[in-house]
Structure 1
Amino acid sequence: MAAPDYRYRGSTPAGLSHTERVVHRLTTLRDRIDGGMDRREFLRTLVSGGYAIGMAKLLGVDDFLAAEDGDVPIVTALARENPDDPWSIRERTKYVPAEWYAAVKKAFEVNRRLARVAFTGYLGSAVIPGDYESKTATVSIGVSSEGHSVGEMLSEVAEGIDIDVKTIIEIDDIHNHGGYSEPRFANTITNGHVPSGVACETNTSLATLGPALYDPDGERTFFVTAEHAFGETESHDPLGRSLVLPRQDDDAVELGSVAHYHPTEDVAVVEPESWIEPASLIDAPSKPRVRGQFTKLGLADLVARGEELEKVGALSGHTTGKVQGVDAVTCFTDSFCRRGQLRWGGEMDLTDGDSGSVSYHRDPNGETHDVLVAGFNNARTWWPGQSYVWGVGAYRLTETHGYHF
């Protein structure tokens, strides 16, 4: 017997406000509950439809959140059904405590408001989910010496959310790490595919090659690395500039040229133009295979469970570290703020030449060597009192440009 289809298919009266439309549709859902929809199916419909828990309370359905184990479904990842087919990507879900989910969602909203207001002295912020037992979330805020009153300013909008304010000083100069490491060259190319985590070169610098980046628009596959590796040009436009794969024992190979670039995310997308193709593989001893990527809530779930991320850079090689902040905003280095950032590990987990690598974690539902990408590494801290790697979350690239790993 086929499972019942509880998706909303009725018409919504014209002329209603957004809130009235949501209430109308939730009322219809309530009717379906009375008709036999169980609690889990109700919550699945509620969350997948984008309804806030607060809106559910308007109709008295919070008893469903408090009943039984109090769990709600979240989308944790976008992963391939067929590991060899990048276009078979689907949503992965799991159940988490409703109170934890509500706290994390509220922290995301507080963080979004901070970025929008960008008060004097604001240098950045990030959401730090608590564990599942605590059912809490913290917003960590970096301010200059002018930003001390931020706690009072947030007292109303951040009710129930912990606020951690840190004053950041002396961030004008980027300090390079000392010493020199031999780059990791792509000495093994299998069936014309090169793995990520190896060195790539522009006409100005060396960076790390990321795993294959996919664009569903036209089902195209690209190489990817850090945009800042192409340096500054008179037009500040790296379009058409070449990306080269250096090899220790052979001549270098030109991989292709920049087809798209995204300065805010610090990502350069390179169209393949040689016999070498991008691959969803990472050059590490365990031979990780990228099977998809984490969502924003999937990263929050990793924090709640105390999980670590991994990365392979062309200079520093393989390192691991815990997630320190999700959906972060970074305003340290430019005249604009970078949103959707991921903070993890420590500053020694990234060095010059590692930009373009990805952070990743084992796919809990995949095969032994399958991993999911967390974020794209761009930089590290260089100011006193904080230590982490930062870069754009993979989910942000999907939200803003449609790409996925």
Structure 2
Amino acid sequence: MVGQRSDRSSQSLESPRERADAGIDRRAFLRTAVSGGFALGVAHVLGADDFLAAGDDEVPIVTALVRTDPEDPFSIEERVRHVPADWHAAVEKAFELNELLARIGFTGYLGSAVVPGDYESGTATVSIGVSSEGATIPEAIREFADDVSINTETIIDVDDVEVRPESARPRILDTAAEGAPAGVACETPSSMATLGPALHYPPEERSFFVTAEHAYEGMPEPVGEPLSLPIRGAKGIELGRVARAHPVADVAVVEPNGPVAPASWIDAPTPVRVRGQLTKYGLADLLAREERLEKVGALTGHTTGRIQGVDAVTCFTDDFCRRGQIRWGGEMDLTDGDSGSVSYYADPEGDDEDVLVAGFNNARTWWPGQSYVWGISAYRLTEKHGYHF
């Protein structure tokens, strides 16, 4: 970044570090940094120290929201990572293009996703799904794309939903004496789903149970309906009643009313504890480094898979589009009964059992040519509704 000229000197300042060293005040520094694109993609404007810690060809991004105290879900702080500036610029442009696509759409548009390249390439792609070979991306979109690659894929037979026979037995607790961890079966009046980890609401400092809203299928208004925890060989336990339903996010928020409290533990092969969640740029960072996510569903159990797209838009199944989605893994990583589980990533700076939630699993592909799980990203749930894991 080339800075503005100082009133005291005509020397051009080539980096944020040089501008700070020249004595520019913090407010002016941040204003210049923001105008130059250095603060795009972060949850809040970062302080000057974050910028000064980066190299001349790097910028800071917020990758996660993490609890400072594992036992206090409201003790949240931002975690920062420095990434190549050219990669950041390409990914930010791709996010802007994807947002434009979601806003205007075009005939045949079924969805899109941002696919960051690796750090060395400094590139990003927007993958666009269309319903027919004849679908044409508006020229204005192509012109806006600039240096961002566009990959168009034709998606066929979206309406032909494949129903797979269930061979797995649901993961049901033997006892709830130690609480109800995520990743096990829960029941609504109409179906079975997977219990997610505790969902927290900072404005009220309250914690809730959570599962997929579509598990209340056939109920036009699930608010007030119960969520139960089946117990093997015993009567199930009512966990609570739906307090809020978010059909676009496909999330049912359940207020506890029984002896069991929401838990931040996931019943993985080695149990793990939710310590926080990944941001949009945190997901982009993992994709750039080809890292994998994990999940535990009530039917398919523990699986892992790579991230395929972030900040995705899906318009496949309803008369509206779902935004802020994550695509990961393959279609075999999710089946009926797994909805309500979360995808997560081992916290690289936490204890051995700590993980960061990536997103909420709601559905999978069933059409030829594509294979992934999709659902709302944790950051989108925070931005749109104020909850966090």
* TM-score normalised by L of structure 1: 0.85
Partner of 2:12: none
| Closer/same/farther in 2, CA of residues 174 and 46 from structure 1, 3 Å limit | farther
Alpha-carbon contact 1:397-1:403 (below 8 Å) kept = yes
Partner-residue secondary structure (3-state), 1:315: coil
Aligned residue number for residue 230 of structure 1:
216
Letter in structure 2 aligned against 1:218: E
1:76-225 equivalent positions in 2, closer than 5 A? 76-145=63-132, 148-150=135-137, 152-191=139-178, 193-225=179-211
Give the Å deviation of 1:261: 0.7
1-structure distance, mates of 2:37, 2:55: 17
Shift of 1:217: 1.5
Query: Would you say the 8 A contact 2:118–2:288 is kept in 1?
Result: yes
Q: Where do residues 13-24 of structure 1 align in structure 2 (5 Å cutoff)?
A: none
The counterpart of 2:22, out of the listed 34, 49, 71, is: 34
What letter is aligned with 1:320?
Answer: T
Structure 1 97/55 Cα, relative in aligned 2: closer, same or farther at 3 Å? closer
Q: Is the 8 A contact 1:144 1:169 kept in 2?
A: yes
Q: Could you list the per-position Cα deviations for residues 272-315 of structure 1 after superposition, in whole angstroms to 9, with x for gaps in the alignment?
A: 01001110000012211000000000000000110000000000
Given the alignment of the two structures, is residue 325 of structure 1 paired with residue 309 of structure 2, yes or no?
Answer: yes
Task: Say how many residue pairs are matched.
Answer: 363
Distance of 2:336 and 2:111 partners within structure 1: 23
**Aligned equivalent of 2:366:** 382
The separation in 1 between residues aligned to 2:131 and 2:99, in whole angstroms, is 19
Q: Distance in 2 between matches of 1:43 and 1:357?
A: 45
User: Shift of the alpha carbon at 1:181?
Assistant: 1.2
Deviations 1:170-201 (A, max 9, x none): 1113212223211001224354x210000000
Partner amino acid, structure 2, of 1:265: A
Residue matched to 1:394: 378
* SS of equivalent to 2:103: helix
- For residues 68 and 339 of structure 1, the distance between their equivalents in structure 2, rounded to whole angstroms, comes to 33
Alpha carbons 1:294, 1:372 under 8 Å: kept: yes
Partners of 2:109 and 2:135 within 8 A in 1: no
Q: 2:226 — aligned with what?
A: 242
Question: Is the CA contact 1:363–1:372 (under 8 Å) kept in the aligned structure 2?
Answer: yes
Residue identity matched to 1:35: G
- Cα distance change, pair 232–107 in 1 and its aligned pair in 2 (3 A): same
Unaligned runs of 5+ in 1: 1-27, 57-63
Query: Counterpart of 1:88 in structure 2: which amino acid?
Result: S
- Whether the aligned pair in 2 keeps the contact of 1:111 and 1:139 (CA below 8 Å) is yes
Structure 1 position 232, deviation (Å): 2.0
Is residue 2:322 matched to residue 1:338? yes
Q: 1:188 to 1:96 in 2, by over 3 A?
A: farther
Matching residue of 1:6: none
Q: 1:194 to 1:45 in 2, by over 3 A?
A: farther
Structure-1 separation of matches of 2:377 and 2:38 = 27
Matching residue's letter, 2:247: P
Contact residue 215 and residue 404 of structure 1 kept, 8 A: yes
Match of 1:312 in 2: 296
**Counterpart check, 1:273 vs 2:250:** no
Contact 2:126 2:151 (C-alpha < 8 Å) held by counterparts: yes
Distance across 2 between alignment mates of 1:42 and 1:386: 47
Distance in 1 between residues matched to 2:39 and 2:227, nearest whole Å? 50
**Residues 139, 161 of structure 1: 8 Å contact kept:** yes
The change in CA–CA distance for 1:276 and 1:140 in structure 2 (over 3 A counts) is: same
Deviation at 1:118, TM superposition (A): 1.0
Could you tell me how far apart the structure 1 residues matched to 2:182 and 2:58 are?
A: 38
1:342-372 deviation digits (Å, cap 9, x = unpaired): 0000000000000000000000110111000
How far, CA to CA, are the matches of 1:171 and 1:43 in structure 2?
Answer: 52
Instruction: Judge conservation of contact 2:38–2:59 (CA < 8 Å) in 1.
Output: no
Contact 1:299 1:326 in 2 (8 A): yes
1:23 corresponding residue in structure 2: none
Q: Is the 8 A contact 2:296 2:303 kept in 1?
A: yes
CA distance in 2, matches of 1:321, 1:314: 17
Q: Distance in 1 between matches of 2:289 and 2:146?
A: 24
Q: Any idea what SS the aligned residue of 2:326 has? A: strand
Identity %: 62
The alpha-carbon distance between structure 1 residues 253 and 68, as it changes in their structure 2 partners (threshold 3 A), is closer
CA distance in 1, matches of 2:84, 2:127: 22
Q: Is the 8 A contact 1:151 1:165 kept in 2?
A: no
Q: Secondary structure at the match of 1:155?
A: helix
RMSD of Structure 2 on Structure 1 (CA) = 2.5
Output the CA distance in 1 between the equivalents of 2:38 and 2:80. 21
Instruction: Verify: 1:356 aligned to 2:343, yes or no.
Output: no
**Whole-angstrom distance in 1 between the partners of 2:114 and 2:133:** 22
User: For residues 109-160 of structure 1, what are the alpha-carbon distances to aligned partners after superposition, in whole Å with 9 as ceiling and x for unaligned?
Assistant: 0000001111110000000000000000000000011653217452210010
Q: Which moved more, 1:349-358 or 1:245-254?
A: 245-254
Q: Unaligned stretches of 5+ in structure 2?
A: 1-15, 41-50
